[in-house]
Structure 1
Amino acid sequence: MPLEKYIDHTNLKPTATTTDIEALCKEAIEYNFYAVCVNGCHVSSAKKVLRGTHIKIAAVVGFPLGAMSFKAKVQEAVDCIENGADEIDMVINIGWLKSKDYDAVREEIEAIKKAIGDHVLKVIIETCFLSNEEKEIACRLAVEAKADYVKTSTGFGTGGATLQDVALMKRVVGDNAKIKASGGIKTREEALKYIELGVSRIGTSSGPSLIQ
């Protein structure tokens, strides 16, 4: 599969304007990326530009802290889907995970997956804040909750994707979930290394330079 088909072309900046999102979508069309990844308020704008194309829209939920209420996250996911999102990238409740309230973490993921039905759910575990043991637990919870993907990072924490984290995640999820590497992937060489490790999607704001 060509590299462009792994890329979620991303702009999650708080300063992103409607014009910026339109430009992101036009680049996705030009480079034939798999998807764009945007904040929820930009889903309808992205939908207008991408209508009639094969390019998917991924919307982030509970972003970037993961700390809003259970009900708010579920409703946010539903709202994004109703506005035209094809996929949801949700941030887990990191505080609950660190409190060892694993049932609550799992139930939140399950509730969002149930609410969005057949739409793809990616679970951002924000590896930079977790011990290796916590990363493993987070991946297991995502699989138990029937998530489609586990994802490394928001890109807004203290660190992004690492090859070591992706190897750990792959070991835990096996073929039970796909993996999205996100945060700090700036070069084609880096992207290809992640793909070799088994990543199915790469979240990056540097998509055009990766292809060029």
Structure 2
Amino acid sequence: MDRSNTQRSRGALVLMWLFLGAVLLFLYAPLLPPLIHSFRDTEANGLFANYTAILDDPRLMGGVVNTLIIGVAVAVITPLLALAVAQAIREWGKPRLLLSLVLLPLFVPGVSMGVATAIFFKTLDIDPSLLTMIAVQVLWALPFATLIIMTVMSSFEGAYLEAAYLLGSNRFQAFWNIELPHIRPGLGAPRPLL
């Protein structure tokens, strides 16, 4: 009896893997022909001619540079804002209101939010720029960062801060020396090696 259960579970496992493989094949098989054709020898310029042509197009390279600038700016600004929001949620008496306001962008589709902010900036006569794109990206990423930081902060014991206050630390010193090292993984920064 035990042997038949083992064979059934193995059969179910094999069927599950076959189904997963079929789904992945269905999703990714249409991408193979364009990928294969992208390596065609274009006018005897070499196998990677289509990819090296990207480096020669100033518009495409400008887009790559803008993407890197926006990505770095959002990666620096968003965790700092999320930390400020998480601290405010913990310290102020209205955590539900603040958290609801911060999480609101989660319930709006990204395309709708992009169109709405474009209309908002147009109404205020603000021209599209890197700053407006950074603002929109930060607004979209802030709920995710806030949830991560709040999750990390929930494991921090407030007794450590109380002990720091009793030993003469002010709020900034207690945060910088006691709390920040504990919540640093939530900010995306690894702990220092020393």
Specify the TM-score bucket, using the shorter chain as the normaliser: under 0.3
Q: Specify the structure having the higher radius of gyration (Cα).
A: 2
TM, length-normalised to structure 1: 0.24
Choose between structure 1 and 2: higher helix proportion: 2
TM-score (normalised: structure 2): 0.25
